[in-house]
Structure formats: C-alpha cells, structure tokens
Amino acid sequence: MKIRTITTGIPLPFSPYQLQRAAKFNAACQTCFEANGYEVQTTRISSQIWDETRDVETIFNLESDAQALGIDFLNLGTILPEKRYTETHLAHVADVIVQSEILFATVTLTTQSGNVIPEITERTADIIRQIAHQTDAGYGNLRFAALMNCPPNTPFFPAAYWHDTRTNFGIGWQAADLVQHAFTDAPSLEVGLQNLKTVMEAEGQKIVALAETLAQEWGIKFVGIDVSPAPMGDESIAYAMEQQLPGYFGERGTLTVAAGLTRTLRSLDLPLCGYSGLMLPVLEDVGLGQRSEAGYFNLDSLLLYSSVCGTGLDTIPIPGNASTSQIAAILADVAALSTQLSKPLSVRLFPVPGCNADCLTEFDSPYLTNTTVMQI
C-alpha cells in the first residue's frame, strides 16, 4: 500500500517557525508510516498566500527557505476571483511557476455564487500558454491548474490550498492497486465494488489510526483521507477498470464503471477530504496513455467521465499552437459542468510546443509517462 502524499497545510508559510514545524512534522509522519509498512512517496506543504498582495521576489525567497528545509513540494494556494488583488496575482503567477522549481499554484474560476467570470477564464488560459512556451516541453504546467468549486484542504497538488483555523494535514493514497485487486476475478461490477469498499475501509482505518495518533502528539488537526485512487505509471486505473469492462478503457461501459467507483469511494466509512473521486490523469498513467494513443477515448470522452468522477481534465497533452481562446473554451466547458452539477473539478492542460495532434510527447520526468497529443 502506497501513500502518494502527506500534505500539511499552514496559515503563514512566510513564518519561519510554521514552515520549520511543518517540515519536521512531515518528516515525523513519513517515519511513522514507513515504520508501519507504508511507502510514502512524497510529503508536501500547502498554504494560501494570495489573500493579500505579494511581490514575486518575496515568493522566490519563500521557495529558497523551503528548499533549505528539504521541502520538495510547496503549494502557494489558489487565486480567487473577485478579490482585491486578483488582477495583480494573475499578472505574476506565470512568472512564479516559470522561474521556480518546487512551487505550485492555481486559479479558481468559479465564484461563491456559482458564476464563472469570462475574463478570469481567458486570463487563466493565457497563463497556461505562457507557462507552456517558457518551460521545457511545457513541463511547467505540471505545477499549475484551473479549479472549479474545489474545496480547501485537499492533499493532492496542484489543487491543495489551506483554509482552516490552524495548521492541519491530510493524506492522499495511491490505491489504484486496491481497485485492481478488488476488480480482478470479481463476477460482476457490483461484487467488485463491494470488494473495493471492504478493502479500502480496512486499509483506511489503519491509516486513520496512525494519523490520529500523530495529530494528538503534535497538536495538528487531521482533516482526513482523499480516497481517490491516484494512478502512477504502471499502477494504472485504466487497467484496473478494464477488469470490469467488456473491452478497453474508453469503450462502452467505461462511464458505468467510473460512476460506480466514485459512488463507492464517497460511501466509505472514513473521514474523507479533497476530491475523493476517480482521477484520470492521462500523462501519469501508462494505461490511460496507451488507450489514448490507440484512440479509445478523446477530450470529449474525458469531459463526459468528469460528470461522474472526481477531478476533471487532468494532465492532458494538447497541441502547442492551441490558442488562448481554444484553451479558454475547454476551461469554460469544465466550469459549466462544475457549476451545473455543483461538484469540484479542475483542469491541468499541457500545450506541448512544437507538437500537433497525434504527435508523441517526449517528457523526461519520473512523474509523467508519454502518449500522443490530443486533438482539441
């Protein structure tokens, strides 16, 4: 059983004490979980710095301080619409991502009243283009996303941002292997989903017990587990789902399995946080990459699955010459789905400079696989 992330959220990342304490706490969590037989892939820190004005140099100094403490992933939080400094932050965020190494950030497109502001959507699309054309192969967009109705205190990046009365932490597990195990040889989808519920609750209760012990020892609030199965490389959610499909991922029946998985995840008798739904990150999952390359699904398919799953459009390679208006239209479609269904969704697009549709990506990263660029 692998834990993808232990994420600690802090109110004031610019406070040396809070940053140091979070780094020490993450190290203690990793030691504890590994001593109990869990592989901890990453520990992370999230915050919310965009509620007041921040100059770029101050943010880069924060990155240096974090790196000196051995922090590998630091989320600055989300730029919300209709705030006093929204325009200023939108003007700076591309530079922050392009010129940093460990910093993540997002822009939220939906307002509290459920509206989507077209100007913010257009600006966000332009930020995606800027990052794509100013980082190697557009890789910087790994650390940037657009959010719609996403809750705070989500363990998974880039969506994580802090919002609480004090420091907290949450856990995101990998768990695609649990889906594979539960679905393999199950005589029906219903049996496979019941198998999954049983095994996830059993595993989750162990994780929760360890987390609550750490929370008590450190006086840091535990917000729960994001139970989304987070695929990585050969641990593929596509291959796992195919154990209960008549064919390949993307063919008929995929929507049914996706809906069943999400329904089961949200029924777990565990403290849940974040998305707690189905993730379909095309560039992070070998199976999804292969099925995309073979043409079994497309952008419209993924948008359909987003109506019943957890994250939206995640790590999608698109042509490098995609215009701002084309990217904005994709963001607007996902935002429309999010507002209509009142559900959290996000979009992480990778315009690949120099690549047209059907071109094979060439990312050299431990976090990404390679597949063909999608048509838009």
CB 49 within 8 Å of CB 22: no
Better-predicted residue by pLDDT, 290 or 114 = 290
**pLDDT for 327:** 98
Residue 114 pLDDT more than 80? yes
For the stretch 188-243, pLDDT in tens is: 999 999 999 999 999 999 999 999 999 999 999 999 999 999 999 999 999 999 99
C-alpha to C-alpha distances, 59 to 47, 49, 74, 154, 344, nearest whole angstrom: 12, 9, 11, 22, 28
Question: Checking DSSP bridges between strand 2-9 and strand 39-46, what pairing results, if any?
Answer: parallel
CB 303 within 8 Å of CB 337: yes
- Element (DSSP H or E) covering residue 319: strand 312-319
For the stretch 121-179, pLDDT in tens is: 999 999 999 999 999 999 999 999 999 999 999 999 999 999 999 999 999 999 999 99
**pLDDT for 321:** 97
C-alpha to C-alpha distances, 329 to 9, 53, 109, 341, nearest whole angstrom: 32, 29, 13, 18
Q: Which residues contact 66 (CB under 8 A, 6 or more apart)?
A: 13, 19, 23, 45, 74, 102
Q: Which residues contact 90 (CB under 8 A, 6 or more apart)?
A: 79, 107, 120, 123, 124, 127
Cβ contacts of 80-87, under 8 Å, gap ≥ 24: 80/50, 80/108, 81/108, 81/109, 81/110, 81/111, 81/117, 81/120, 82/111, 82/117, 83/50, 83/51, 85/50, 85/52, 85/53, 86/120
Angle between helices 56-68 and 86-99 (to 10 degrees): 40
- The percentage of the chain sitting over the pLDDT mark of 70, rounded to a whole number, equals 100
For the stretch 134-149, pLDDT in tens is: 999 999 999 999 999 9
**pLDDT for 325:** 98
Peptide bond into 231 cis (omega under 30): no
Distance CA 35, CA 48 (A): 32
For the stretch 323-359, pLDDT in tens is: 999 999 999 999 999 999 999 999 999 999 999 998 9
CB 173 within 8 Å of CB 206: no
Distance CA 291, CA 140 (A): 25
Domains, the chain: 2-148 (3.20.70.20), 172-198+214-352 (no CATH)
Residue 311 pLDDT more than 90? no
Segment 285-289 mean pLDDT: 97
Segment 271-298 mean pLDDT: 96
Question: Alpha-carbon torsion 298, 302, 303, 308, what sign?
Answer: positive
Residue 90 pLDDT more than 80? yes
DSSP 151: P
Nearest one of 173, 213, 157 to 9, comparing CA atoms: 157
Distance CA 299, CA 376 (A): 7
Cβ contacts of 27-30, under 8 Å, gap ≥ 24: 27/70, 28/214, 28/218, 29/169, 29/211, 29/214, 30/6
Distance CA 170, CA 328 (A): 32
Nearest one of 158, 149, 91 to 119, comparing CA atoms: 91
Residue 310 pLDDT more than 80? no
Distance between start and end Cα atoms, the chain: 37
Angle between helices 254-265 and 299-306 (to 10 degrees): 40
Segment 16-30 mean pLDDT: 98
Residue 274 pLDDT more than 80? yes
Which residue intervals of 75-175 are DSSP H helices? 86-99, 118-134
Distance CA 132, CA 138 (A): 4
